[in-house]
Amino acid sequence: MNHNAISLLASLGVFASVLVGPAHANPYPAGDAAKGAKVFKKCVSCHMIGAKAKNRVGPQLNNIIGREIAVLEDYKYSKAMKAYAEQEPVWSEAVLDAYLANPRKAVKGTRMSFAGLRKEKDRHNVIEYMKQASQ
C-alpha cells in the first residue's frame, strides 16, 4: 500500500470516529436483571413482556431497546407520545432511562400515570430485565 492510500485510510478513520464517536463512549451501565424483575412488578398492572406479552393499558415491552417509539400498530398511542417520537425516534437505553425517571417530564401530556423510578440503579436493573425478558 502506498503512502497516499495509507493517508486516505487514516483520514477516513478519523472522519468515522468524529461521526460516531469513540467505541467506548459512555456505554449504558449494566443492571441486574434479577433485581430488575422485582422492579418490573411496579409495571405489570399496565405492561407485559415475554413470550405471551400483549398490549394492556400500556403497550407490550418486548424488544423495546432499539425499537422505534410509538410504532406498534395494535396499540393506540397518545398524541403526546406520537409527538415525542418525532423528536426522539428510538428507545435507546438512555432515552428509556430518562423516560422511566419521570414519564410526565420526559413526555409532556403522556397518558402514563406512573410517577417514575427515582433510583438510577432501579432504572438500570429494570432496563436490563426488559432486555433479557424480551429474548
CATH T-level assignment (fold) for domain 26-133:
Cytochrome Bc1 Complex; Chain D, domain 2 (1.10.760)
DSSP string, 79-123: HHHHHHHHHS-B--HHHHHHHHH-HHHHSTT-S--------HHHH
Model's pTM, two decimal places? 0.78
Q: What CA–CA distance (Å, rounded) separates 73 from 77?
A: 9
Condensed to tens digits (0 to 9), the pLDDT of residues 106-132 reads 999 999 999 999 999 999 999 999 999
Q: What CA–CA distance (Å, rounded) separates 114 from 64?
A: 18
Condensed to tens digits (0 to 9), the pLDDT of residues 43-59 reads 999 999 999 999 999 99
pLDDT of 24 > 60? The answer is no
**Domain limits, the chain:** 26-133
State CA 33 to chain mean position distance.
15
Q: What CA–CA distance (Å, rounded) separates 38 from 129?
A: 9
